[in-house]
Amino acid sequence: MQRSTKFAHTRYLGDKRTQLVYDVDSLDAETYSEIIDDIVNQEVGLCFAPDTLPEARNRGYKLATSAKVRRHRQPHA
């Protein structure tokens, strides 16, 4: 999958609207490319430091899977 230049060195990309985190390294490019592009274009993406799944979970994010769908809410920050 082609990475955005804004999140070029990020493995886990969070969506502030849905509180879901996407593992960019293991994503199916065809399935998630529109979602990742939407996150970057709407400027609601969040990267984590350290760039790990436990850190994302610590901030209240859940790993996105194909079965998880959430409502888009207004980002808090």
Residue 5 lies inside a defined structural domain of this protein: no
- Residue 68 is assigned to a structural domain of this protein: no
**pLDDT tens for each residue of the chain, 77 residues long:** 566 677 888 899 999 988 999 888 876 766 677 888 889 899 999 999 999 999 999 999 999 877 566 666 666 65
Query: 6 lies in a domain?
Result: no
Q: What is the pLDDT of residue 21?
A: 92
User: Is the residue at 44 inside a domain?
Assistant: yes
Q: What is the DSSP letter of 12?
A: E
Average pLDDT, the chain: 82
Domain extent at residue 31: 12-63
Angle, CA 61 vertex, CA 51 and CA 58 arms, to 5°: 65
Model-level pTM? Answer: 0.77
Asked if the structure places residue 7 within a domain, the reply is no
73 occurs within a structural domain: no
Is the preceding peptide bond at 50 cis, omega within 30 degrees of 0?
yes
Number of domains in the chain: 1
Q: Is residue 40 part of a domain?
A: yes
